[in-house]
Structure 1
Amino acid sequence: MTQSEVPASHSGHRYTTSARGRMSRLNITTQLAVIVPVGTMLIAYDSATWWEALVLLAGVAASMVAVVLWARERILAFAVPLLAVAAAVWLFGVLVTGSTTAFYGLSVVVPLIVPGMPRHRVPAAVASVAFIAATGALRLLVAAGDPGWTAFQFVLLPGGVLVFTLGFMFANQAFYQILAELDEAREHEAELAVARERIRFASELHDIQGHTLHVVKLKTALAEKLVRRDAGRAEEELREINALVGDTIKQTKELAYAQRRLTLAAELENAKNLFEAAGIRVRITREAAVNGRTGELLGQVLRETTTNILRHAEAGQVRITLSERGITIVNDGAAGDVLPELRGLSTLRERLAVEGGDLVVAQNGAEFVTSAVFPAGAAR
């Protein structure tokens, strides 16, 4: 097993940052696409003069700024000025112009701020609803007409809208919290899977060297005792020690460069177990059985690709297709437009080329494809 050039922590940080940036842009685009047209229509409907429209526009502007800051996770730092502007517009609408839609800014700003507060979220939500209702009730003191209709327009409707949007955002916050916890659990599972792979590697290394070193120790002690009593026997023991050390060096080198003989069936089962342990769905399609040297090489490709996916991708699903001439591994965890440099796969590409095969690494959107293929007649 060889290690890729990009450290897992750096790669994971890159992928996480990229995904968060895309999510932020998506949130800003989708919410502004609703807030701006609705706010514009409300201003056009509820303002009789240009200065009334200007004040209502301040509430819509506060909503737009709040959306951008919320998507970038910076809204709490600007909570006070945003709430002050939205509250001032509502007071203006209640006491001066009788604008029934002046609460629009508060109905957007408050739900974006309160659910994200580190503490006292419920009291803050209750206080916000009480403020918008109490402020609306002031309209009963300055306006003539039907008190019931006035109470509905300035108390019940704004309070109800705020309760609804707050409930929606609290549910949305809980949903994202669950997603964050699931993502953290998945990351831990991936780390455990990589740790298991390292333990497996260490176990193989121990199998190769542990027994040999123990035997070498015994034979060295025996040769030391025989060197004066039976020089011929001592010489034979030393030759065996030399052969053992040479064979161990060879096996260790093969293990380090993923050249040790392995079976493709075992690697398929190992990859399946590792992916499932990391919470990644796996679909394996076996169109044909592959054995011999070709099976060993494809097993090495699968092992290296499995390690790369666990360490460097954010895959939710992996598809493995085994044909008579090769293997294709597709994962949906790619991010960014630049292919990462994977030293292990580069080494395997050279190894497959010597055997007449070809290793292709490509990225298609969010999918990362690793495909090892032998031409007809080359596989054996």
Structure 2
Amino acid sequence: MDGDLRGLLPDDAQTRQEPKLMHPFKNFQLNNAIFAAIWLVFLAAVLVQVYLGAGYSARDKVWMTACVAVFSAFYFWAFGSMESHPSGWSQFSRAMLRWAVLLVIALASVPVIKTGVISYAPYLAAMLGFSVPWRKSLPIVAATGVVGTLAVWFVAPEDLGWSSLVLFATPFLLVAVGVFSQYDVSRYQLQHELDLAQQRENIATDVHDLLGHSLTVINLKSEVARRALHNNAEQAEKELKEIAELSRLALAEVRATVTQMRTPTFAGEVQGARRALETKGITAHLPERLTPAGEHETVFSWCLRELTTNVVRHSGANTCWVSVNADKLQVTDDGSGFSTDTVQNREGGLAGLRERVEAAGGRLIVRREHGLTRVLITMSGDSELMRDGAVVQEASE
């Protein structure tokens, strides 16, 4: 559709729509960026060597500080924007673009630190190892190691031992960790898709069985009513009434069956909550995505969806914690919070959720203390709050 509309737009409108590179922080995954940036602390050793080592001028120190700062900033952005920028690119293309830019920044350090530039190798390996399949990342990482080793051998053969460790052992280890990380994510996604496929198949079978039986009976009774219409009006009227009753019953059963397709699963809602919170830039502490919610899965799924949606839309929170066990679900955030009086008077956004929980035999409890809002769903009558990651924050305060 975009291609069709583009020809109808004036040139200036087309120009405004074209550049998708103008939003580098759109859908930025802050958690991914922070997790990757933690390891940048090891680059401090390079700066320490330059600042404290002999033979480095003030100009060298300024240049290396700039190189490390630019490398770190781009590395942080690269992981956070990997899933969204540039728009329309494949994952491999995005990863290679970032890898190439990081390589150029690293090579800019060569005039100052010479063979010490290999300190950047693990970060280049991590960029590919955590982003693309190992069949594509491993050859590039291996080729980088070979080229780096040859360069060290020609320039400073005495450094060949420790440089081989940095160029091969650590990068290969990071690729292996990246493979397991990607496998774990793929496994959860595949399991979720299999669950949805199984659910659709079950519903299709149920609808087929319901309609097959009901329509067969309706067809038979319609034929009987047609034959009796002129000879036995009472029997025809009776058959028509049964047809009407049977059709209403079949319609109700089909609606009830199809409604199951709209019933969320807890594992699916955990995935949805993670995506929504991270997209909003809220740090999410969630249970494992396949954590079973037991016999209360349906009500816990609806509650998790509604409560995390409220956190995303209205709380202004920076962090959200979700805890769950067989009988309780608790969502905690450090945002602005709900008005307890409003919730209790059923005038707030949680009124409908409270009614759903109470209809299922549970209770919804809202508490606001120490700058944290906790919403507890309890199905056992136990109103004691659960321990979650927010307890650590309260203790520190």
Match of 1:46?
53
- 1:35 and 2:39 correspond: no
Structure 1 residues 129, 86: closer, same or farther in 2, change over 3 A? farther
Unaligned runs of 5+ in 1: 1-16, 91-101, 137-154, 259-266, 285-294, 309-316, 322-326, 340-344, 363-367
- Counterpart of 2:109, as a letter, is A
Cα deviation code 1:115-152 (max 9, x no counterpart): 7385543233112122123122xxxxxxxxxxxxxxxx
- Counterpart of 2:165, as a letter, is F
- Counterpart of 2:163, as a letter, is L
Structure 1 residues 194, 205: closer, same or farther in 2, change over 3 A? same
* C-alpha distance in 1 between matches for 2:109 and 2:360: 71
Cα deviation code 1:9-62 (max 9, x no counterpart): xxxxxxxx67x421312322x2343323x234312332356xx24225434543
Alignment of 1:246-325 (within 5 A): 246-255=248-257, 280-282=290-292, 300-301=298-299, 319-321=324-326
- 1:112 and 2:104 correspond: no
Structure 1 residues 128, 337: closer, same or farther in 2, change over 3 A? farther
Cα deviation code 1:224-273 (max 9, x no counterpart): 11112222211111111112122233434444556xxxxxxxx9xx989x
Structure 1 residues 192, 85: closer, same or farther in 2, change over 3 A? same
Q: Would the aligned equivalents of 1:212 and 1:248 in 2 still touch at CA under 8 Å?
A: yes
* C-alpha distance in 2 between matches for 1:114 and 1:303: 39
Structure 1 residues 212, 170: closer, same or farther in 2, change over 3 A? same
Cα deviation code 1:179-230 (max 9, x no counterpart): 1122112101111112222333344444444322221111111111111222
* C-alpha distance in 2 between matches for 1:361 and 1:218: 57
Question: Equivalent of 1:86, from 109, 133, 139?
Answer: 109
* C-alpha distance in 2 between matches for 1:26 and 1:242: 62
Matched position secondary structure for 1:78: helix
- 1:219 and 2:224 correspond: no
Structure 1 residues 257, 68: closer, same or farther in 2, change over 3 A? same
Matched position secondary structure for 1:103: helix
Matched position secondary structure for 1:211: helix
Match of 2:31?
22
Match of 1:193?
195
* C-alpha distance in 2 between matches for 1:177 and 1:202: 37
Q: Would the aligned equivalents of 2:361 and 2:379 in 1 still touch at CA under 8 Å?
A: no
Cα RMSD of the aligned pairs, angstroms, is 4.7
* C-alpha distance in 1 between matches for 2:359 and 2:184: 43
Q: Would the aligned equivalents of 1:282 and 1:319 in 2 still touch at CA under 8 Å?
A: no
- 1:58 and 2:56 correspond: no
- Counterpart of 1:55, as a letter, is D
Displacement of 1:282 in angstroms is: 3.6
- 1:76 and 2:99 correspond: yes
Structure 1 residues 55, 68: closer, same or farther in 2, change over 3 A? same
* C-alpha distance in 2 between matches for 1:205 and 1:347: 30
Alignment TM-score, normalising by the size of structure 1: 0.57
Match of 2:179?
177
* C-alpha distance in 1 between matches for 2:250 and 2:355: 25
Q: Would the aligned equivalents of 1:63 and 1:109 in 2 still touch at CA under 8 Å?
A: no
Structure 1 residues 213, 123: closer, same or farther in 2, change over 3 A? same
Displacement of 1:361 in angstroms is: 9.2
Structure 1 residues 121, 86: closer, same or farther in 2, change over 3 A? same
* C-alpha distance in 2 between matches for 1:299 and 1:113: 43
How many equivalent pairs are there? Answer: 278
Displacement of 1:358 in angstroms is: 3.9
State the percentage of identical aligned residues.
16
Matched position secondary structure for 1:280: coil
Q: Would the aligned equivalents of 1:66 and 1:109 in 2 still touch at CA under 8 Å?
A: no
Tell which structure's C-alpha radius of gyration is larger: 1
Structure 1 residues 44, 59: closer, same or farther in 2, change over 3 A? closer
* C-alpha distance in 2 between matches for 1:194 and 1:369: 29
* C-alpha distance in 2 between matches for 1:225 and 1:336: 72
* C-alpha distance in 1 between matches for 2:122 and 2:361: 62
* C-alpha distance in 2 between matches for 1:114 and 1:54: 29
Match of 2:328?
328
Match of 1:371?
377
Matched position secondary structure for 2:109: helix
Structure 1 residues 348, 86: closer, same or farther in 2, change over 3 A? closer
* C-alpha distance in 2 between matches for 1:164 and 1:78: 24
Q: Which has the higher contact order (CA 8 A, sep 6+)?
A: 1
* C-alpha distance in 2 between matches for 1:197 and 1:361: 34
* C-alpha distance in 1 between matches for 2:364 and 2:207: 27
Structure 1 residues 181, 77: closer, same or farther in 2, change over 3 A? same
- 1:103 and 2:115 correspond: yes
Alignment TM-score, normalising by the size of structure 2: 0.55
Q: Would the aligned equivalents of 1:361 and 1:370 in 2 still touch at CA under 8 Å?
A: yes
